[in-house]
Amino acid sequence: MTQDARRVSRVLWLLGLLTVGPALADLAAQAQPFPSQLPLDQPAPDSFLVVFETTKGNFVMKAHRDWSPLGVDRLYQLARAHYYDGTVIYRVGPTASFKGGYVVQFGVGNSAALNQAWDAAGIADEPVLHHTGTGTVNFARGGPQSRTVELGINLTPNTALDTVSYEGVVGFPPIAEVIEGMPVLESLNRQYGNTVFEHWDSVMASGRSYLDRAYPGLDRILSVAVSTRWGGPDSTTIIAVVDAFHAALAAGDSAGAVALLSPDAVVLESGDLETRAEYAAHHLAADIAFTMAVPSTRVTTQVHQEGDAAWVAAVTTSKGTYRDRPVASQGAELMVLSRTEAGWRIRAIHWSSRRL
């Protein structure tokens, strides 16, 4: 077996991991973790992606440890432990510490005991090392050492957060930036503004159960996934090939889609394994029809390259109607690519999905 073949074989082995991922995520989401259950003293990678699936679609944030080491360490541990799965996005409203800003906020726990435990686990204050702007992410805070679990995402530049003095502490250090999905954040339910803070004791006592009862219709975080693998010298080109394949499906261009598949490509879908020719003759037409009929949001979560082999993982949320039947599903996608004389081509595709 050649070195490239070994790489492709190794990547194909990962196909099985995508089929168990959602089940593991569901298991982890059964209960929010307490501080004592997490390795909070362990540092995070220098940079990583966090994919948030919400009731309105997906958004992706990229964390930068050099912006706020302690803050990014906390985000990494919370996201990996699925702390945010199922939490309510309880605030889409104006900033409180200065006028003119707008933020999205979420992260409160779902029991009094949990919230008390996290309130006692605040991280040390850090200086502002990166300017706040539209799409940057900060931990919410009150006074000293009060950053714990609640995240705020800036829908407006909010540059005043760099220098505002609030409760004896100066500035709100950014920890990450939203790189995909700002329209999703803009579409979140904002009918209640900041009114949730008028009943904050009830929120802290019961979390989601109170919010669902007192503020019906609020959006929520459905699931969270962390990726620490991102990049490679040809990552932009590799992603462009994958995007071109999906664009061909959306345009009904079967020839264009097939042209991006290598001659020996395999497609795993709906329990079947098809060759390039079999896929072109069978499932391709149905994939085109579904893609053209059902609005979907696809977010790339991993891009990894090893020499002339690469793999790209993505998650997809699809909501709409297909053949007169409602559709609401989350999908996982893994594409394996290799470099050929004609450029990067897709060698294998694996799709799986579950109902929302």
Q: What is the pLDDT of residues 80-120, one digit of tens each?
A: 999 999 999 999 999 887 888 999 999 999 999 999 999 99
Q: Which residue did the predictor score with more confidence, 295 or 14? A: 295
Please give the mean pLDDT across all residues of the chain: 88
Q: What is the mean pLDDT of residues 227-244?
A: 82
Give dist(CA 293, CA 319) in Å, integer. 10
Q: What is the mean pLDDT of residues 21-36?
A: 58
Q: What is the pLDDT of residues 187-217, one digit of tens each?
A: 999 999 999 999 999 999 999 999 999 999 9
Q: What is the pLDDT of residue 14?
A: 39
% of the chain with per-residue pLDDT over 90: 72
- Note the CATH number of domain 3-19+229-355: 3.10.450.50
Q: What is the pLDDT of residue 228?
A: 66
Give dist(CA 90, CA 27) in Å, integer. 24
pLDDT of 27 > 50? The answer is: no
47-54 sheet: strands from edge to edge: 91-94, 102-106, 151-154, 136-139, 174-180, 57-64, 47-54, 221-227
Q: What is the pLDDT of residue 18?
A: 36
Give dist(CA 327, CA 318) in Å, integer. 7
- Beta strand residue intervals within 196-260, DSSP E: 221-227
Out of 43-47, 126-130, 258-262, least confident range:
43-47
Backbone phi and psi for residue 58, each to the nearest 5 degrees, phi listed first? -105, 150
Q: What is the pLDDT of residue 73?
A: 96
Q: What is the mean pLDDT of residues 304-326?
A: 91
Domain range list for the chain:
3-19+229-355, 31-227
Q: What is the pLDDT of residue 147?
A: 98
Out of 23-32, 246-255, 310-319, least confident range:
23-32
Q: What is the pLDDT of residue 97?
A: 75
CATH topology of domain 31-227: Cyclophilin (2.40.100)
Sign of the CA dihedral running 130, 132, 135, 136: positive
β-strand partners of 92: 104
Q: What is the pLDDT of residue 229?
A: 60
Q: What is the pLDDT of residue 5?
A: 39
pLDDT of 13 > 90? The answer is: no
pTM of this structure = 0.66
% of the chain with per-residue pLDDT over 70: 90
β-strand partners of 49: 62, 227
Decide whether 3-19+229-355 matches 31-227 in CATH topology.
no
- Of 164, 170, 174, nearest in space to 71 by CA: 174
pLDDT band at 270, cuts 50/70/90?
A: confident
Q: What is the pLDDT of residue 298?
A: 77
